[in-house]
Amino acid sequence: MTYTLTLQHIKPVTHDTYQLTFDRPADFDFEAGQATHFALDQEGWRDEDRPFTMTSLPDQKDKLEFVIKSYPSHDGVTEKVPNLKAGDQVIADNTAGAITDHGPGVFIAGGAGITPFIAILRSHAKMGEMDCHLIFANETDKDIILQEEFDQMAGLKTSYLVSGQSDTAHISGKPDKDMLSKLIADFDQTFYVCGPGDMVDAVRSSLKDLGAAEDKIITEDGW
């Protein structure tokens, strides 16, 4: 099943990341945290589909939102994203994804790996059932996606880690075992991990060493 999505508007959320809002087809169903693949409906790009995560809520029937980081060096789909404009179309396929809502827990994200957690945390905020901790790792302060929104979510504890800027306003460092042991008091809870593959592997291994149960670590392979 494919869907043609029409862009309503696009706006920057950081220096290299954009929020795209599309019309939502009536039968486009998904769970918070899940992704689709889409290709640009442009000559030469229709076979180049890439995975992107819906960041709007499943019960928001009037729109589909994505938050997409652009990589100009890839010469690929995300390089074209900043130039999209209202009325442009993408071709999306079915939704899927291993990261879905398993209740409150610790959310550990690297860069654009935050995207599955946007809808899940928005959903918790809406239900008033937060009691979550977000550990969000980035290179520099200006790479932090939607910081203001996370800061305003009642009941969400935030720890922003920055590894490539000596004068950071946040916590200096990466989500390694030592850092996780300092930031997390209780390892008997649900952990959500998303980001580059090597980061996910390292965090999963650290969490297990620190006492987290394998079946309570929710991840997506292939980022």
Ligand X SMILES: Cc1cc2nc3c(=O)[nH]c(=O)nc-3n(C[C@H](O)[C@H](O)[C@H](O)COP(=O)(O)OP(=O)(O)OC[C@H]3O[C@@H](n4cnc5c(N)ncnc54)[C@H](O)[C@@H]3O)c2cc1C
Contacting residues toward ligand X, per CB under 6 A: 35, 50-53, 66-69, 71, 73-79, 97, 112, 115, 220, 222-223
Strand arrangement, sheet containing 132-138: 171-172, 156-162, 132-138, 106-110, 191-194, 217-219
Beta-strand (E) ranges in 30-125? 35-40, 50-53, 64-69, 89-92, 106-110
Going by C-beta distance under 8 Å and a sequence separation of 6 or more, which residues neighbour residue 54? 30, 34, 35, 36, 64, 65, 66, 95, 119
CA torsion sign, 72 to 73 to 75 to 78? Answer: negative
Smallest gap from residue 52 Cβ to ligand X (A): 4
Residue 146 beta carbon to ligand X: minimum distance, rounded to whole angstroms:
12
CB of 43 to ligand X, least distance (A): 16
Please, which residue, 178 or 198, has the CB nearer to ligand X?
198
Under a CB-based contact definition with an 8 Å cutoff, are residues 152 and 134 in contact? Answer: no
Cβ-Cβ contacts under 8 Å for 95 (sequence gap 6 or more) = 28, 29, 30, 31, 34, 35, 36, 54
Pick the closer one to ligand X by CB: 197 or 211.
197
CB of 195 to ligand X, least distance (A): 10
Question: How far apart, in whole angstroms, are the C-alpha atoms of residue 157 and residue 153?
Answer: 9
> Which CB, 52 or 160, lies closer to ligand X?
52
Measured from the CB atom, the residue of 95 and 159 that comes closer to ligand X is 95
By C-alpha distance, which of 216, 219, 53, 195 is closest to 122? 53
**Least Å from the CB of residue 178 to ligand X:** 27
Nearer to ligand X, 53 or 190 (CB): 53
Classify strands 35-40 and 156-162 as parallel, antiparallel or unpaired: unpaired
Smaller CB distance to ligand X: residue 39 or 171?
39
Query: In the complex, what is the shortest distance from the CB of residue 17 to ligand X, in angstroms, rounded to a whole number?
Result: 7
